[in-house]
Amino acid sequence: MTQVAPIATSPDMTTEVFIHYFNQGNVDNLIDAYYEKGGVIAAAPGVSAQGTDLKNALIPYFSMNGKISGKTRHTLINGDIALLILDWSVEYKDEAGNDATYSGTSTDVVRKGADGIWRCIIDNPHNIK
């Protein structure tokens, strides 16, 4: 049975969209479904990336060939814009074949489009404290 792809009809649903497309293993599908055109990612702390550079910033996460899980911890909404704090964890195999986990807490800004779908405009996956 084919799983139906989630659509972010609320800010919190954007986390489910990211998880779904990440776990498919296709970075282009993730970008198309999750990010608003012109969306920005923190490629490294203090370094932003858009367009092709956004894809390049995501490749290291995909290269782990792992599965991500996550949950939105906090949502702050102002009209058609929302700030999300979310916890995420990627389970993968390290170079020696051992089970490993890479996790963090992300701050994301999402916006509701004219089509009613929420998409990410700013993605900061680097750990907040």
- The helix or strand, by DSSP H or E, that contains position 15, with its residue range, turns out to be helix 13-24
Does the structure show a pLDDT above 90 at 113?
yes
What are the sequence ranges of the domains in the chain? 13-124
**Fold for domain 13-124?**
Nuclear Transport Factor 2; Chain: A, (3.10.450)
> Could you read off the pLDDT of 8-42 as tens digits, one per residue?
999 999 999 999 999 999 999 999 999 999 999 99
> How far, in Å, CA of 35 to CA of 55, rounded?
11
The CA-atom distances, in angstroms, between 75 and each of 13, 36, 38, 82 are: 11, 18, 22, 7
> Could you read off the pLDDT of 29-84 as tens digits, one per residue?
999 999 999 999 998 888 899 988 999 999 999 999 999 999 999 999 999 999 99
